[in-house]
A and B are shown apart, each in its own frame.
Chain A
């Protein structure tokens, strides 16, 4: 703890958001700005026979109309991660054109773009574009996509597989262990497709400057530098120094704003064609059709136990949809962000995960809050709880029995899993103990029994989760197919007066970096928080960066800043030593000044910084200035963990599930700002509850999305959820300077299985062993009445 670290400092960004002064992309208005509207495919799969833009081109206010024939971005949008087939064959990577060429492969795919003087006129003219289609059969379920005779998404591939992949122990060995197990629990289900639904729709403004042959792209992204890299080097072939990408305030991301989308590339291209700024902001309807979805795994799992309840083996086969095209990080999600988490918190000696990743005639699937890890946690935690039920064991007891023993990663080595990763540090029993104590576990069981006698169906669900985040060591991810490094950049510029500007490659879209980063910077430098400014989201200000996702900002981005602070202090000490006429070794730095140990001789940080910029009386040979940039490449992922408990009541008449209590005990390593960590947990938990009870993207057989608006896609509202009771333990990350692990995805990863386990706990005595998510009243009622 310092003066600021560990304190619930109120957020400095709130003032602008609370007064309506936030600057989201759609709030920006440029002189002479044109507006874009898209003509999108109404079919999931169709041949484009003809596109007639004649009427649109002469419509009121129209500036231009473009189709694929106009040749925007020859290469299309690339994929940033390559996962090859098990047999070594290269991943099948279709071209993802900016405007559909020849065929459309999912509902909503853009066929033409109309630019007009106003948004209304662009919309009007878009309706005048006449596209002639020949509708073709579609496939939307990833398992069905791999059956013989399934419609092909890409004609040039022999089947719909983008790749297949496996990890863990030898399959035969795992199967043999399952054959010999005392008890085998099985589950078959769909981890349903979700729409991320950041409340701010994606928005882009591309502004081409004829004079400098330069662009500014304002974009609602989680990672401006990555967008610039992909846009320039892969899509449009523009030198990077000619494009500035700016991402001011972003209204939530949850993964969906990581990716490089065709609309932002197309707008950049269009802006040069018309030599004007051009804006496009998605409607919610477009967001449903286009923003990369999450999950969509068809799962078949088996977990074997010995007589005492020890897990002996785990085998899972999955079909994980990629959608029609490969989104930026899509191949990593059901593989390296998923299969590598199958160890869970348990000592499971034998694990095998087998994934087939097909194309389907649907929106692309990519990382959505948790990304692969919620899917892993869900199936592990369902299997463990189901296994306990079947074996007549207590669900807490079976977990204690199987937990990996504590290891701090310093005195004890990290834990080597069966699925490639090595956990950094962990102490798993205390999180469950603390959560069970908070919820009053023993008392609840009595209450549950009594309630059941009155016909009330109460249930308690446990989920103990782990995730790999702080993404990620570049060499490791490189070996796993990433086409980018996943380090982070932290630049600390000490101004002559001792005020500090920090430029981070991480990006805040709700996480509060401007406050949290300033907290630890101020503490490390011993200066007031008001003297520290955090800058992000502009490629022209921040040297480079990989952005924010995978709960990485503090663990990776924060560590990069710490590296630069260390350099500042190291150089500052040399200046201070010179001024104090002492040796560097004799100085200590605290509370914003260097002091000669054992004396009252000191020099303040601001005096040193002034000296650095006015180097009249200055160490010989030392460069002026106090300005350092660092790249931090983590040596490992971080592995936060926790226990989530839900108490639910199921209405016996209607099947409606009400969450009565939700208790968490999470260990996210060292905590900079408890208020913000709690906020991350609250939000994450509720998103996870959304998956458990409400949310599902549904495509019908023909590939039409039947949940394409808030009239049909249900998300948690204020009255669907209770207060979230949060607790924590602290097991520092041993390999980064802040000891932080990451909290952004924790809630979502832990909560979903807790809720489903609670519902099953309420209904087990009625013979209900599993219910497909989301646990809608209809599904619950049908499960209760199946016999």
Chain B
């Protein structure tokens, strides 16, 4: 089936099998491998991207469902070599270790902060409930989102 969509500001058109997930489309067809797969059950959040501005788990969407949509992946966050404030905050606060869950965390944080620019610690933790991290104990991820909120509100 032919689909047409915008990913990180660039338009793409491809003929895809209906069963191709959006994650596999991004990774295998567009070679955007920053979006990761960590589970089979929509639980871990490593595959999170923004679809029409909302955080979604791309492993639980078919590429055909994204036909006509606008998608932002981790590769589309930075402005050239300048990190997005959320990315910069993760670096400053050591909000990542192995880096595997990180793209999903950053994209989810973007959704959290878009809907709630001044979240409390509890709201951040609640907002991240759909993203597993096994390395950081979340401590520095929460601090990263707090710092990003401060930067974005300046």
Using CB atoms and an 8 Å cutoff, list the residues of chain A in contact with chain B.
8, 10-11, 13-22, 24, 26-27, 29, 120, 197-201, 249-252, 254, 281, 283-285, 509-512, 675-676, 678-679, 682-687, 709-711, 715-719, 721, 723-724, 747
Cβ-defined contact, A284 with B40, below 8 A: yes
Partner of B99, one of A22, A26, A724: A22
Check: B106 CB closer than 8 A to any chain A CB. yes
Partner of B33, one of A14, A20, A254: A20
Question: 14 A-B residue contacts at CB 8 Å?
Answer: A10-B91, A18-B87, A19-B74, A19-B78, A22-B100, A24-B100, A198-B134, A199-B46, A199-B133, A200-B98, A678-B94, A683-B137, A686-B139, A721-B137
Q: Write the nearest CB–CB distance from B144 to chain A, whole angstroms.
A: 10
Cβ-defined contact, A510 with B41, below 8 A: no
- Known contacts A19-B87, A719-B129; decide if A251 and B98 are in contact (CB<8 Å): yes
Cβ-defined contact, A711 with B43, below 8 A: yes
Cβ-defined contact, A718 with B100, below 8 A: no
Check: B142 CB closer than 8 A to any chain A CB. yes
Partner of B36, one of A10, A24, A197, A683: A24
Q: Given the complex, which residues of B lie within 8 Å of A511, measured CB to CB?
A: 97
Check: B7 CB closer than 8 A to any chain A CB. no
Check: B13 CB closer than 8 A to any chain A CB. no
Q: Given the complex, which residues of A lie within 8 Å of B102, measured CB to CB?
A: 17-18
Cβ-defined contact, B34 with A679, below 8 A: no
Cβ-defined contact, A710 with B99, below 8 A: no
Check: B92 CB closer than 8 A to any chain A CB. yes
Q: In the complex, A710 Cα to B45 Cα: how many Å?
A: 11
Cβ-defined contact, A250 with B125, below 8 A: no
What's the count of A-B pairs with C-beta under 8 Å?
182
- Known contacts A18-B87, A250-B98; decide if A682 and B136 are in contact (CB<8 Å): yes
Q: In the complex, A676 Cα to B139 Cα: how many Å?
A: 12
Cβ-defined contact, A717 with B128, below 8 A: yes
Q: Given the complex, which residues of A lie within 8 Å of B113, measured CB to CB?
A: none
Cβ-defined contact, A11 with B101, below 8 A: no
Q: Write the nearest CB–CB distance from A756 to chain B, whole angstroms.
A: 18
Q: In the complex, A13 Cα to B90 Cα: how many Å?
A: 12
Partner of A510, one of B37, B92, B99, B103: B99
Cβ-defined contact, A709 with B41, below 8 A: yes
- Known contacts A14-B91, A199-B134, A679-B136; decide if A19 and B101 are in contact (CB<8 Å): no
- Known contacts A18-B83, A20-B35, A718-B124; decide if A682 and B137 are in contact (CB<8 Å): yes
Q: In the complex, A594 Cα to B97 Cα: how many Å?
A: 37
Cβ-defined contact, B139 with A724, below 8 A: yes
Cβ-defined contact, B40 with A510, below 8 A: no
Q: Given the complex, which residues of A lie within 8 Å of B90, measured CB to CB?
A: 14, 18
Residue of A nearest to B83 (CB): A18
- Most B CB within 10 A of own CB, among A511, A684, A717: A717
Q: Given the complex, which residues of A lie within 8 Å of B20, measured CB to CB?
A: 120
Check: B44 CB closer than 8 A to any chain A CB. yes
Cβ-defined contact, A721 with B100, below 8 A: no
Q: Given the complex, which residues of B lie within 8 Å of A676, measured CB to CB?
A: 94
Question: Contact string, B27-43, partner A, CB cutoff 8 A, digits 1/0?
Answer: 11001111111111101
Cβ-defined contact, B139 with A723, below 8 A: yes
Cβ-defined contact, B129 with A199, below 8 A: no
Q: Given the complex, which residues of A lie within 8 Å of B142, measured CB to CB?
A: 718, 723
Q: In the complex, A26 Cα to B131 Cα: how many Å?
A: 20
Cβ-defined contact, A20 with B98, below 8 A: no
Q: In the complex, A512 Cα to B99 Cα: how many Å?
A: 10
Q: Given the complex, which residues of A lie within 8 Å of B132, measured CB to CB?
A: 197, 199, 710, 715, 717
Question: Contact string, B1-33, partner A, CB cutoff 8 A, digits 1/0?
Answer: 000000000000000010110000001100111
Cβ-defined contact, B19 with A686, below 8 A: no
Q: In the complex, A284 Cα to B94 Cα: how many Å?
A: 26
Q: Given the complex, which residues of B lie within 8 Å of A685, measured CB to CB?
A: 137
Cβ-defined contact, A252 with B96, below 8 A: no
The 3 closest A-B pairs by CB, nearest first: A20-B34, A251-B100, A17-B99
Cβ-defined contact, B98 with A719, below 8 A: no
Q: Given the complex, which residues of B lie within 8 Å of A201, measured CB to CB?
A: 37-38
Q: Write the nearest CB–CB distance from A574 to chain B, whole angstroms.
A: 41
- Known contacts A120-B19, A718-B125; decide if A200 and B36 are in contact (CB<8 Å): yes
Check: B141 CB closer than 8 A to any chain A CB. yes
Check: B75 CB closer than 8 A to any chain A CB. yes
- Known contacts A19-B78, A510-B135, A719-B128; decide if A10 and B98 are in contact (CB<8 Å): no
Q: For chain B residues 46-105, which have a beta carbon within 8 Å of chain A?
A: 46, 73-75, 77-78, 83, 87, 90-92, 94, 96-103
Q: In the complex, A94 Cα to B150 Cα: how many Å?
A: 58
Q: In the complex, A281 Cα to B40 Cα: how many Å?
A: 12
Partner of B97, one of A15, A284, A510: A510
Cβ-defined contact, B98 with A198, below 8 A: yes
Partner of B40, one of A283, A679, A684, A723: A283
- Known contacts A17-B96, A20-B74; decide if A284 and B41 are in contact (CB<8 Å): yes
Partner of A18, one of B96, B98, B129: B96
Partner of A200, one of B17, B38, B141: B38
Q: In the complex, A684 Cα to B136 Cα: how many Å?
A: 8
Q: Write the nearest CB–CB distance from B125 to chain A, whole angstroms.
A: 4
Q: Write the nearest CB–CB distance from B112 to chain A, whole angstroms.
A: 11
Partner of A10, one of B19, B43, B92: B92
Q: In the complex, A719 Cα to B145 Cα: how many Å?
A: 14
- Known contacts A684-B137, A718-B131; decide if A199 and B96 are in contact (CB<8 Å): no
Residue of B nearest to A253 (CB): B98
Residue of B nearest to A709 (CB): B41
Q: In the complex, A683 Cα to B100 Cα: how many Å?
A: 14
Q: Write the nearest CB–CB distance from B133 to chain A, whole angstroms.
A: 7
Q: In the complex, A717 Cα to B75 Cα: how many Å?
A: 25
Q: Given the complex, which residues of A lie within 8 Å of B91, measured CB to CB?
A: 10-11, 14-15, 18
Cβ-defined contact, B140 with A679, below 8 A: yes
Q: Write the nearest CB–CB distance from B46 to chain A, whole angstroms.
A: 6
Cβ-defined contact, B98 with A718, below 8 A: no
Partner of B135, one of A26, A252, A678: A252
Q: Given the complex, which residues of A lie within 8 Å of B36, measured CB to CB?
A: 24, 26, 199-200, 251
